[in-house]
Amino acid sequence: MTFTTGEADLRKENISKIVTGFALANYKMKSLCMVQSSAAWKETYFQETAADLTNSASAVEGVPRLAGFPLGEVSWTEHSKRHKKHGMEGVISYEDKRTNDIDVISRTLLRIGRAIAKSVDADIWDTISENRTGSLTNKVTITAGYEWDSNTIANRDPIKDILHAIRLIQDDNYDAFNGGHLLLSPTDFQNMLGNANIRNAGEFWTSDVTKNGKVGRICGLPIIVDKNITADWAAVVIAKEACTWKSVVGLTVQTIEDPGIKTTIRAWEIGVAQLKNPEAVCLISNTQK
């Protein structure tokens, strides 16, 4: 089929690419997930119990000669979640499109792409952190008076807290330095970089990554700063290991033309985040004031 320059089909394709491009540049948490397609509305998955295998009747060490071996049973917890639709649309009048001093089309495209990315990333953060309810196995709780913004400057020690989180993950036999990331809110990124120990210690802090929210490294971990991350909370997360994004419909964009009246730009995405390996996450709570 042949199109001329001004036909709507060409504009639809161009707009779709622009919105998708804006969204991809803004996804931060989603970049941490293993992305898998799905054709179901309800997703069931299993979380493996983190505790080491033991046997209450007999010890693993010191099995007598000719004796039977102690039995170790792995257990899993079943979880189910339903998919969510993330959507946004913008309407631009024919007159605004043709005569406004502001490029309303490009601004609408950018804001729609950003809205979808923000909504998806917020859902992923809530899943990774289990809504900060305290149900995660690994958690570093900073003692009151020792927060990263403590009134007593000498008590602030983010390096110790980050290393503690790394150790807890490694205690569960995950390698935090293979795909591990540090997630921070803008507030806690400020508190961390404002710490003299980090500013003055090059071996702990570098600024060599700047993609999808990554703004540097601390203790060997790339840092992701995202407004979706709750202030006074941080997390060490192993990308592609801890969380999976099950996708029914990837980011989709549709342009609806009402000639002479308006243009509607609609975008949506359907999926759900799953925390499949919670031991590959460690929360840091800075909320003890």
- pLDDT given for residue 188 in this prediction: 93
Rg (the chain; Cα; Å): 24
Residues 12 and 116 in one domain: yes
> For tokens 């995950």, what's the residue?
174
- Count how many domains the chain has: 2
| In a domain? residue 76 | no
One domain for residues 155 and 216: yes
Query: Does residue 254 form part of some domain?
Result: yes
Helix H, strand E, coil C: the string for 180-209 is: EEEEECHHHHHHHHCCHHHHCCCCCEECCC
Instruction: Report the pLDDT value the prediction gives residue 50, as an integer from 0 to 100.
Output: 63
Whether 64 maps to a domain, the answer reads no
CATH of the domain at 95: 3.30.2400.20
Give the pLDDT of residue 237.
Answer: 96
Q: Residue 284: its pLDDT value, please?
A: 95
227 and 99 inside one domain: no
Same domain, yes or no: 202 and 162: yes
158/156 Cα distance (integer angstroms): 6
CB 263 within 8 A of CB 117: no
What CATH code is carried by the domain that includes residue 195?
Answer: 3.30.2320.10
| Contact call for residues 214 and 224 (beta carbons, < 8 A) | yes
Same domain membership, residue 19 and residue 108: yes
Shortest CA distance to 267 belongs to which of 8, 20, 10? Answer: 20
Q: Is 125 in the same domain as 249?
A: yes
Is 2 among the domain residues? no
The token pair that represents 124 in the structure block = 């992923």
Give residue 150's domain range: 133-243+278-285
Q: Helix 8-26 vs helix 104-128: angle between axes, to the nearest 10 degrees? A: 40
Same domain, 91 and 153: no
**Full pLDDT tens readout for the chain, 289 residues:** 444 434 444 444 567 777 777 677 778 899 899 998 888 888 777 776 766 777 767 788 788 888 888 888 877 777 788 899 999 999 989 888 888 766 788 788 888 888 998 999 999 999 999 998 877 788 999 999 899 998 898 899 999 999 999 999 999 889 999 999 999 999 999 998 888 877 776 666 676 655 556 668 888 899 999 989 999 999 999 999 999 999 999 888 888 889 999 989 889 999 999 998 889 999 999 865 4
Residues 224 and 89 in one domain: no
User: Is the same domain home to 140 and 207?
Assistant: yes
Residue 211 to residues 26, 27, 28, 88, 125, Cα–Cα distance (Å): 10, 10, 9, 25, 18
**What pLDDT does residue 6 have?**
43
Does some domain include residue 73?
no
Q: Is 179 exposed, middle or buried (0-12, 13-18, 19+ CB in 10 A)?
A: middle
In a domain, 67, yes or no: no
